Amino acid sequence: MPTLYPLKFRPIYKDKIWGGQRLKTLLNHDFSPLPNCGEAWLISGIEENNSIVSNGFLADNELNELVEVYMDELMGESVFERYENEFPLLLKLLDANDWLSIQVHPNDEIAKARGLSGGKTEMWYIIHAEAGSELIAGFKKKISRFELQQLIHQKRISEVLNYETVKAGDVFYMPAGRIHSLGPGIVLAEIQQSSDTTYRIYDWDRVDDNGQSRQLHLDEAIDAIDFNLYTDYKTKYTIIPNRTTHLVQSPYFTTNLLYLNHAIEKDYGYIDSFVILLAVDGEVGISDKTVNYSLRTGEAMLLPAITEKVIFTTATPSASILETFIDLD
């Protein structure tokens, strides 16, 4: 069987009632003929939205087909043992030209009790933010289930939510159960469990082109919400140039940041997992000593688990790249 290599995929574009044009104007994604693009799915194993390889001899194959064929060579032994033939993560770009609904995602326990494949824990990395742009993450005051239900009914839910003004480089970990929303003017990368289950709580009373409101899921959402109050919702980190900066470590994925201003070599041989690379600023060159690749801001690549040493170079004065893998140790 031919040897695996770093894989690129064709993005899957989705127009949204809140979507904009920045994935095209800022990141050069051509989502025509869609009128706007709220989401670009860069790497997905979700049924009916399965990513298709765009480079090399495996071009035109679906991601989950490759998982079935290459198994632990692609996924890693421990990852394949746990998830079998389903790719466990979903990587998206989001562009918000208006507020997303106030929403929440279920955890694994709730999702499986409702006949779903799994929950949805995610993280956000802000790639671009217009001045004053905000998002919602969690609560700003302690509130009971009954009090929240009353505020939802009165359309006053925003009074108890935690608003954060954001800038490029900000990171937010959004575990399942955390109420959240994304405001206009923000482009971000979203790394998440392989699930597209969202419970809308409030959708700002808007309607679509046909005058229809989007469905809300209040009963499902209330049972899924984490009502705990937290001190911090934004991830704190300090960049060390040309070294690995840890951002998020969860049971579902680990994500690090590499800020580069010169060439470095990284050894991924010790990781029993695939590695997703996503350029979030500048342009980076990637070589596995056989083939040279490049990633511009908003482009992603999947390194198979058999990948060992990789050389990163910068095609711009500096570049930033996210690396994501699954650590089951």
Annotated catalytic residues are 200
For residues 189 and 298, what is the distance between their CA atoms, to the nearest angstrom? 8
For residues 143 and 292, what is the distance between their CA atoms, to the nearest angstrom? 53
Among 129, 138, 200, 133, CA closest to 172: 138
Give the Å distances, CA to CA, from 66 to 95, 256, 302.
Answer: 30, 25, 12
Cβ burial, residue 289 (10 Å; 0-12/13-18/19+): exposed
Among 306, 301, 319, 304, CA closest to 264: 319
323's enclosing H/E stretch is strand 319-325
Give the Å distances, CA to CA, from 194 to 62, 122, 178, 225, 252.
Answer: 15, 10, 17, 19, 10
Cβ burial, residue 146 (10 Å; 0-12/13-18/19+): exposed
**Strand pairing of 39-43 and 89-96?**
antiparallel
- Note if the bond before 33 is cis, omega within 30 degrees: yes
For residues 285 and 323, what is the distance between their CA atoms, to the nearest angstrom? 14
Q: Which amino acid is at 247?
A: L
Among 35, 44, 41, CA closest to 15: 35
For residues 154 and 148, what is the distance between their CA atoms, to the nearest angstrom? 10
For residues 273 and 323, what is the distance between their CA atoms, to the nearest angstrom? 12
